[in-house]
Amino acid sequence: MSLLGDALESMSTSAGRWASLQADLHWWADRAALTRARTAAAAARGTPVDIQPPGFPRVPVAAVAVDEQRGSLLATPRTLRVEWHASAAAAAGAGAGGAVVAVVRGEEWRERRAGSVRGSQVTDPGTGLTTRWVRELVFVRPWRLLSCLHLKACDALDWHGRPATWLRAEPRENEFWSVPSLHSLTDGDAYDLVVDSATGVLLDLTTWYADQEVERCWLGDPRFDAPVDPASFDLETIGTAAEAESPIRRARPLASLADEVDFTVLSPRGEHYTGVVDTDEGGSVVVAHPSGGGPGGWHRWFTQSGGARMADPAEWEPIQLPDGTHARRWSPSGDPDQVHLRFERAGTQVWVQGRGRRDVHRLAASLEPVSR
């Protein structure tokens, strides 16, 4: 069989080739390159790029251009436990890349990050999308990659004493949603994979964009078939079912959120919008969008709060809405169809965003306190 054929065979039958795996986890990313790659990918897909206005509430920027993180992995073909320590960016005060612990049993999973627990519900069996939420699963379930990547063999190599195959991969066309999360950049234009010849386990995964290496995750010192403690894969060690939440939060009617926040909730007159509540150190925020619409279909949406997570519109154009409300408006000079509006109504701070100036203004004018 060819080098590629051997690698595909070992990946597709990986679950039957090993009993347990313990390894060190390593992750590296060029944060600036990742941002450039995502912007370029959006432009290549024809997706309008939202331009941040002056006064946009900034997320702290890491003091390190290259972020690194270390952790550990423990797995059987049906279970996985991953523990990540805080990254260099988090240590520098960027607030991202903190300690994470995740456990997977079959298609059920839990993840604890910064004290918050999320995961599949007890009443909601696995959807088959677990690999999207627990990205490290691709290392021990490599067959998930076979239908969404074009693979070609580059060379046989020695990976720290283990025979392995180096593969180059490109995503298949129109398979964006089905591609498991390969690190952060799901739509990189090329990947390097190192596949363990004996087990089919993925030992190294590197993401490229425009011939630049932007992200890499790999297993260090892999140890196969040693005894493992089944209790390590107990979901309850991460959080109880009552604490777990769906990774896709279900939006609810805005009126049902009114008792969960400390400000007056607004809703557009004559339109059905739903929303979710976000809470952080700045306070509670309601993000609202048309009912039934997901992030890819948000043409107009708005954020409301008592002042948390609002853009500072000091440099925006002062205007007056049809009902006499004083507001501030901003559009990028190269894309006047994109509109941001900031104003206050019923004591609530509002930030409306979207495309289509007339429609954005109409949405802003129609906002009124919800009827309970």
Does position 177 have pLDDT exceeding 70, yes or no? no
| Cβ neighbourhood burial of 183 (10 Å; 0-12, 13-18, 19+) | buried
192-217 residue pLDDT tens: 999 999 999 999 999 888 788 888 99
Spatial separation of the C-alpha atoms in residues 133 and 130, rounded to whole Å: 5
Please report which helix (H) or strand (E) contains residue 40, including its range: helix 31-44
The answer, yes or no, to whether residue 125 has pLDDT greater than 60, is no
> Pick from 61, 132, 135, 45: which is nearest to 96 by CA?
61
Least confident of 12-21, 139-148, 168-177, 181-190: 181-190
**Helical (H) or strand (E) element with 41:** helix 31-44
pLDDT of residue 95: 45
171, two tokens: 């995503």
Tokens of 294: 């997901």
Contacts 24+ apart (CB under 8 A), 37-41: 37/185, 37/188, 37/209, 37/210, 37/212, 37/214, 38/185, 38/187, 40/209, 40/210, 41/185, 41/187, 41/189, 41/209
Per DSSP, the three-state class of 318 is strand
Binning pLDDT at 50, 70 and 90, where does residue 44 land? low
Q: Read off the pLDDT band of 59 (50, 70, 90).
A: low
Per-residue pLDDT at 224 exceeds 50: yes
Please report which confidence band the pLDDT of residue 94 belongs to, taking 50, 70 and 90 as the band edges. very low
Measured CA to CA, the distance from residue 282 to residue 137 in angstroms comes to 34
Which DSSP symbol is given to 248? S
Rounded to the nearest 10°, the torsion over CA 250, 356, 312, 269 is -60
pTM over the 0.85 mark: no
Number of alpha carbons in the 13 Å side-chain half-sphere of residue 30: 13
Closest CA to 5 of 202, 192, 151: 151
Element (H, E) at 39: helix 31-44
**Contact present, 62 and 22 (Cβ < 8 Å):** no
Burial of 81 (0-12, 13-18, 19+ CB in 10 A): buried
Q: Do residues 231 and 222 touch, judged by C-beta distance below 8 A?
A: no
Higher pLDDT, 171 or 77: 77
* pLDDT above 90 as % of the chain: 49
Q: Which of 21, 14, 6, 3 is nearest to 200 (CA)?
A: 14
Compute CA distances 266 → 167, 238, 362, whole Å: 53, 36, 14
